[in-house]
Amino acid sequence: MIFVHILLLSLFTACIPPSFWVGAMETPTHRTLRELNREQSMPQWHVKFNPSNITAHMKTVVNIAVEIRDIEVTDLKDISFQFFADNERLAVVKKEISGSEIDVNSRSWSGYITVDLKLLGFTKIYVKMLNHKRNTAELSNESLPLTIVRKARLIDHIFTGSVALLVSLLYINFGAAMDLKVLRKLLIKPVGPLIGFVTQFILMPLSSYVIAVFLFPNSIEMQLGLFFTGVSPSGGASNMWTVILGGNINLSLLMTSISNVAAFAMIPLWIFSLGRIIFSRGNMTIPYNKIATFAVALVIPLALGVAIQKYSPKWSKVLIRLLEPISKCLILFIIIFAMVTNFYLFELFSWRIVLAGALLPWLGYCLAWYFARSLKQENADALTIAIETGIQNTGIAIFLLRSLPQPQADLTTVVPVSVAIMTPFPLLGLYFYRKYKGKKPIKYSTLNESDEHIRTL
């Protein structure tokens, strides 16, 4: 029933144009622009920007040539012109032209404006004519599109390459950790894994889409960041949290393995179906080749891990021991390195981004738990399914988002980083609650002797 409700809600929101949500979420500047456009008649004066569009680096200042012509006003002293950006977090223009500066004969003004580029993203420069006598304002028909990007740095390439390397190593470990005996036992009655598959690859992508549309109706980049996170497989840290909180580690390993293998089909399926709607809203092209290349590239380390397990059991045990530390390193590396090297992430954070980072995993925990318990799963299994569902592999999300052009690649990264930061809080709360109540998690000694590969975790 939950699945049906979310599916219907997602299909409903997919059919509604983004403008439907604008009134509730737009900034004061957006409201001003809409009010001016609604109230004013077509202005007779015109603006020409040279160049007509600009791509520049953040934290820089650019000078732009501007010409305002056809100013048909009886008394020029009654008017003035103001320049402003529709998003002043990204760019600031401090320029006002008084009527005395306008050429009386040609009824025009030409000169330069200085734009201070603060933060990466997309914005536009507008001109507004104020009539002080009539107390009215007119907005220019023309605007200057600004694309603000970061300077390419060596450390950015190191970050991207390091994430790719750690994700590859993690997949080698997953391949080595897939125990066929354990898998065979659980697959005899695959109720838990099937529930996990539905919650991971049906509920989470649909939830991420719905949350993204409601929280970021005007930001395609934020929608993509949250959606790519929602379609990602389960994170490696789920196995660690399952042990800490006393879940079913066998089920956890199986669900993690199934999730990461199924991701090769499910990620492209969601991106090229529901994700296509988000891309089309932003007039963006899906980078098919890069996404396909990244997905196929992950098959190689996974197959290598399986081969090591089969032909070199000793090395396989070593890799299994490294599964937990590599998972921790990947999570910590992405959060810490991304924030330290890209301090602008804090500037991009808003209450909506923090809320989205919390809603996606926390909703995943709750929906998966309720779904599992409604299907008569034991508490330990329901807890495991909830953990596996709520913990997303944000490393893979960032890995895929890096295939987008700039500045979309940078703008979208902030969302999975927010998700990674907010994900552990409910689990930490449950852990301390259990400690306070005196409930101890399972010990490794309670595992079967045959489950030696699990013991090493």
pLDDT of residue 364: 92
Between the alpha carbon of residue 375 and those of residues 188, 194, 196, 300, 378, the distances in Å are 17, 11, 12, 36, 9
Please say if the pLDDT value at position 242 is more than 60: yes
Q: What integer is the mean pLDDT of 316-339? A: 69
Tell me what the pLDDT averaged over the chain comes to: 75
pLDDT bucket at 244, cuts 50 / 70 / 90: confident
Instruction: Name the range with the highest mean pLDDT among 170-174, 324-328, 341-345, 391-395.
Output: 391-395
Please say if the pLDDT value at position 443 is more than 60: no
Q: What integer is the mean pLDDT of 210-217? A: 89
> pLDDT tens digit string along 81-102?
889 988 888 888 888 888 888 8
Give which of 170, 121, 162 is closest to 337, Cα–Cα. Answer: 162
Please say if the pLDDT value at position 359 is more than 80: yes
Q: What integer is the mean pLDDT of 295-303? A: 69
Q: What integer is the mean pLDDT of 132-136? A: 84
pLDDT of residue 314: 80
pLDDT bucket at 174, cuts 50 / 70 / 90: low
CA distance 363 to 384: 15
> pLDDT tens digit string along 425-435?
898 888 888 77
Taking each helix axis as running N to C, give the angle between helix 323-341 and helix 237-245, from 0 to 180 degrees, rounded to the nearest 10: 120
pLDDT of residue 211: 92
Please say if the pLDDT value at position 4 is more than 80: no
pLDDT of residue 393: 80
DSSP class of residue 26? -
Q: What integer is the mean pLDDT of 112-123? A: 87
Q: What integer is the mean pLDDT of 227-243? A: 79
> pLDDT tens digit string along 16-60?
343 333 333 344 455 455 455 544 556 788 899 988 888 888 888
DSSP string, 225-257: HHHHHHTS-B-THHHHHHHHHT--HHHHHHHHH
Please write down the HEC assignment for all residues of 403-429: CCCCCHHHHHHHHHHHHHHHCHHHHHH
Name 230's Cβ contacts closer than 8 Å, sequence gap at least 6: 204, 205, 206, 207, 208, 209, 360, 392
Question: What are the beta bridge partners of residue 83?
Answer: 127
Give which of 387, 11, 404, 409 is closest to 205, Cα–Cα. Answer: 11
pLDDT of residue 35: 52
CA distance 199 to 122: 35
What pTM does this model have?
0.65
Pairing of strands 109-117, 91-93: antiparallel
Question: What would the two tokens of residue 180 be?
Answer: 């066929």
pLDDT of residue 193: 83
Q: What integer is the mean pLDDT of 97-122? A: 86
CA distance 58 to 410: 12
Are 245 and 266 within 8 A, CB to CB?
no
pLDDT of residue 40: 53
Please say if the pLDDT value at position 190 is more than 90: no
Instruction: Name the range with the highest mean pLDDT among 126-130, 248-252, 331-335.
Output: 126-130
pLDDT bucket at 118, cuts 50 / 70 / 90: confident
Taking the alpha carbons of 298, 301, 305, 306 in that order, is the dihedral positive or negative?
Answer: positive
pLDDT bucket at 315, cuts 50 / 70 / 90: confident
CA distance 162 to 320: 21
CA distance 299 to 308: 14
